[in-house]
A and B are shown apart, each in its own frame.
Chain A
Amino acid sequence: MRFELTPRASVAPFMRTLAPILAFITAFLIAGFVIWLLGRSPLAAFQVYVVQPLSDPWALQELLVKATPLALIAIGLSYCFRANLWNIGAEGQYVVGAILGSWLALRTHGTDAGIWVLPAMLLLGIIGGALYGLIPAFLKTRFGVNEILTSLMLVYVAQLLLDYLVRGPWRDPKGFNFPQSVTFDPAATLPTLGEASRVHYGTVFAVLAVIVTAVVVGRTLFGYRLRLTGDAPRAARFAGFSSKNTTLAVFAISGGLAGLAGISEVAGQIGQLQPSISPGYGFTAITVAFLGRLNPFGILVAALVVALTFIGGESAQILLKLPLDLTQAFQGILLLCVLSADALVSYRVRIIRRGGGK
């Protein structure tokens, strides 16, 4: 017996809209089943995971804070993924962007350098991420090295570099030997949106990135170039688009946006460098990009949904004693369900029996 996927002759548009909703319900059912196996009430878990964060103003702010880096990175990744290039190293580009931007914050620490510091830091963050992203791109275009492996391995290099810096040269001398840098000056801190708010300007950057990307992808030749490179690489070459330049460009863009997310997080949210500045945003953003089907607005929604699972996961850990790993498992289940729903909308599954009369 084997399964065969045959394309459906026509797909009703309402099924396309319904598919992600059904996928979500399925994912919740699977997760609920797992929670039931763990001996907890699925209903209570749903309450903690979904209902509470959405009904609590503090949690809603936290949602935006967590969704910001996810959206920024995922938007960048969508450029790569559209062109069928696999940047798995956004986490590393995020870290290097944070490091390079923070370098300026630490250099100007305690001086009365003016308002130029923050914009320069953000710029350095973008440059750092972009340059770090260009390493796998260069290795691919020059030597044909697989970008998945190099970009992934460079993540560990970046993380260990950060670890070295905060334990060594950049450690706060008055920090009781904690592995962390000094707290950034106000001039090097990304302001929050409004008083007593935790939401910082990074959120504005994320929304801007979404809008600009929507225009670039939908309306410009560059956007078409990415789609064509991804969908029909030979046709892209025939159209005169050099695949080398495309590769370099998309890695620079996605690296740059990851770097911006990194420096925004450090300068807006954490306020100093420490060994860990990300709960895996760079990897989770891959999920976000695909949950949003590489569509800029879809990514925005997906970033919010995934941020919800982060927050819900944290409270579930405290309130229900559920392991935090369940959050990652749920993100995985969700992605699997959405991708399967997409496939099932376009294809019909047939079971073929062998050896029988037919």
Chain B
Amino acid sequence: MKADVSSSPPLVALRGISKRYGDLLANDHIDLAIDRGEVHALLGENGAGKSTLVKILYGVIEPSAGEIFWEGQPVTIGSPVEARALGIGMVFQHFSLFDELTVAENIAVSLSDDWTLSRVRNRLGDISRAYGLALEPDRAVWTLSAGERQRIEIVRCLLQNPRLLILDEPTSVLTPQEAEHLFTTLDKLAADGCSILYISHKLEEVRRLCRQATILRGGRVIGTLDPRAKSAREIAAMMVGTEIGEVRSGTPHEPKGSMLEVRDLSLSAPGLHGQSLEAISLLAQAGEVVGIAGVAGNGQSELFAALSGERLAAAAETIRIAGQVCGTSNIDSRRRLGAAFVPEERLGHAAAPTHRLSENTLISHAAAEVSHSGFILLNAAKRLAQSIVKSFDVRTPEPDPQARKLSGGNLQKFVIGREIIRRPKLLVVDQPTWGVDAGAARLIRQALVDLAGEGSAVVVISQDLDELFEIADKMAVIHQGRLSPLRGITEWTKEAVGLEMLGESQLHGASHAV
């Protein structure tokens, strides 16, 4: 994009920014310009180089080549402190807040010394009113929802009167209602002349919010366009490089026989800030995909640990797998009943980062064909890894690489493939496509749907509502450790799910339930 010479220079312009990590060119001659008051989207798949680019802009990493112009003047941004001094604020995808401190304290610690607690409190009131960012200054952060925590991060930036606000995947932790609220705030900010760089891979919200979008792929700028002028499908194709097909559901899934039955499962919170599970009941039948929606941190990982047997229930009869009582059996015995599990974290939980793929097959196959009376069958493990790689289109940099050398999407295909290849009667998977590129996500969803089609029960815990609406036959919503009733997917609307995510319907229902 050529800068218009006649008018004033853009607020910030990047020219020829490159960043090289060893052999990998994370950013390849990127040009980007943002005008005052412009809401600019940075679109791209995971690994397209978005994070690298904004970290360069925010002074976290140093570019290998290229220049940054601030209001037409060349600048070097050596650290986030320098970035903030220029007027750049950033809201990270993962919050950096102290759980034990209050809202005001959290804001004060990140600002310079002349921000006293009382001054923060006063300004907090002004900003909250101006932009509709309601926050109670004296609440402890650990009592707040993700949406509220994000508001702290945003307010923290706004207190420093930023001229450019960078938001990295801000809606990934929000309910649909909270996201809409955020958009309203951003509209107001832009109207006041603050520029916004909005990083996302969700097309719909970008079309709602932005008039300019830069699309990155493989570290390069693929195009700069008005996202409302193109169809979602066209933009997706630019992001991914190829057309993304839709998941075929094939024949409608016919539930036949219970594979997972959870009755009144309650578990105390595992740690200080963990979530307890409250009287969870759930039924997954052979041949269907059951979705569990919810905002992060509402008990999903605790539920997964209880289902997998990494944490044991108090009473055996609360969980049945394939008809067998197993609430107090460990993960190994549950695997022997025909269950398989894929946790949320790929590296470190589902797979050991520094171990080769063949060794990683041992993690969930310890009881199966890759070992014999305590000895590892190395060749069998290698063959198994190879057939997973082949059947699930896992792209590897070398034969049998270490797990950490795979990209997120490829490793996720591998760990899901490792379970599906066993033809489990029950598959429980937590966030199957979290941080995975669109092509891999489609393949994974297809594999899950196909597995159900072959007569297995599949339980998908996901924060991605669109994903659940695409593949689930039935769905329930988890909120603060409670699970809503399971309903057919067609009976749900996004609004109804949003209300469950906020706990609204539970509040209304509570009057007769308790």
A→B interface (CB under 8 Å):
8-10, 219-224, 227-228, 231-232, 234-235, 237-242, 354, 357-358
Give the distance in Å from the alpha carbon of A98 to the alpha carbon of B77 in the complex.
Answer: 65
Check B348 against A239 for contact (C-beta < 8 Å): no
Centre residue among A8, A219, A239 by max chain B CB count within 10 A: A239
CB distance from A244 to the nearest CB of B (A): 12
Check A231 against B330 for contact (C-beta < 8 Å): no
CB distance from A164 to the nearest CB of B (A): 43
Asked if B308 CB lies within 8 Å of chain A CBs, one says yes
Check A239 against B355 for contact (C-beta < 8 Å): no
CB distance from A253 to the nearest CB of B (A): 15
Q: Which of B313-362 touch A at CB < 8 Å?
A: 330-332, 335, 341, 343, 345, 348-355, 359, 362
Give the distance in Å from the alpha carbon of A324 to the alpha carbon of B470 in the complex.
Answer: 74
Give the distance in Å from the alpha carbon of A237 to the alpha carbon of B341 in the complex.
Answer: 13
The residue on B at minimum CB distance from A232 is B352
Give the distance in Å from the alpha carbon of A280 to the alpha carbon of B78 in the complex.
Answer: 51
CB distance from B303 to the nearest CB of A (A): 15
Give the distance in Å from the alpha carbon of A9 to the alpha carbon of B363 in the complex.
Answer: 27
Check A224 against B348 for contact (C-beta < 8 Å): no
List, sorted by A's number, 29 A–B pairs whose CB atoms are closer than 8 Å.
A9-B24, A221-B371, A221-B376, A223-B376, A224-B359, A227-B352, A231-B352, A232-B348, A232-B349, A232-B353, A232-B354, A234-B348, A234-B349, A235-B349, A235-B350, A235-B351, A238-B308, A238-B331, A238-B343, A238-B350, A239-B363, A239-B366, A240-B331, A240-B366, A240-B367, A357-B76, A358-B62, A358-B76, A358-B78
Asked if B138 CB lies within 8 Å of chain A CBs, one says no
B→A interface (CB under 8 Å):
21-24, 62, 76, 78, 308, 310, 330-332, 335, 341, 343, 345, 348-355, 359, 362-364, 366-367, 371, 374-376, 378
- Supposing A220-B374, A227-B355, A357-B76 touch, asked if A239 and B364 sit within 8 A by C-beta, the answer is yes
CB distance from A212 to the nearest CB of B (A): 13
Measured between beta carbons, the chain A residues less than 8 angstroms from B62 are 358
Measured between beta carbons, the chain A residues less than 8 angstroms from B76 are 357-358
Measured between beta carbons, the chain B residues less than 8 angstroms from A227 are 352, 355
- Supposing A238-B343, A240-B330, A240-B332 touch, asked if A231 and B366 sit within 8 A by C-beta, the answer is no
State the total of A-B contacts with C-beta under 8 angstroms.
Answer: 79
CB distance from A236 to the nearest CB of B (A): 8
Check B362 against A224 for contact (C-beta < 8 Å): yes
Give the distance in Å from the alpha carbon of A220 to the alpha carbon of B21 in the complex.
Answer: 37
Give the distance in Å from the alpha carbon of A232 to the alpha carbon of B355 in the complex.
Answer: 9
Taking A221-B376, A227-B355, A231-B355 as known contacts, 12 extra A-B pairs with beta carbons closer than 8 A to each other, sorted by chain A number, are A219-B376, A220-B374, A221-B366, A232-B348, A232-B353, A235-B363, A238-B308, A238-B341, A238-B363, A239-B363, A239-B364, A240-B366
Check A9 against B366 for contact (C-beta < 8 Å): no
CB distance from B302 to the nearest CB of A (A): 14
CB distance from A3 to the nearest CB of B (A): 15
CB distance from B460 to the nearest CB of A (A): 18
Q: Which 9 A-B pairs have the closest CB atoms?
A: A9-B22, A240-B332, A232-B352, A239-B363, A234-B349, A240-B331, A235-B352, A231-B352, A232-B348
Give the distance in Å from the alpha carbon of A228 to the alpha carbon of B359 in the complex.
Answer: 10
Centre residue among A227, A238, A241 by max chain B CB count within 10 A: A238
Measured between beta carbons, the chain B residues less than 8 angstroms from A220 are 374-376
Give the distance in Å from the alpha carbon of A239 to the alpha carbon of B335 in the complex.
Answer: 10
Measured between beta carbons, the chain B residues less than 8 angstroms from A222 are 374
The residue on B at minimum CB distance from A224 is B362
Check A228 against B352 for contact (C-beta < 8 Å): yes
Give the distance in Å from the alpha carbon of A238 to the alpha carbon of B308 in the complex.
Answer: 8
Give the distance in Å from the alpha carbon of A227 to the alpha carbon of B359 in the complex.
Answer: 10
The residue on A at minimum CB distance from B354 is A231
Give the distance in Å from the alpha carbon of A106 to the alpha carbon of B82 in the complex.
Answer: 76
CB distance from B80 to the nearest CB of A (A): 13
CB distance from A148 to the nearest CB of B (A): 23
CB distance from A19 to the nearest CB of B (A): 18
Give the distance in Å from the alpha carbon of A126 to the alpha carbon of B21 in the complex.
Answer: 51
Measured between beta carbons, the chain B residues less than 8 angstroms from A358 are 62, 76, 78
The residue on B at minimum CB distance from A8 is B22
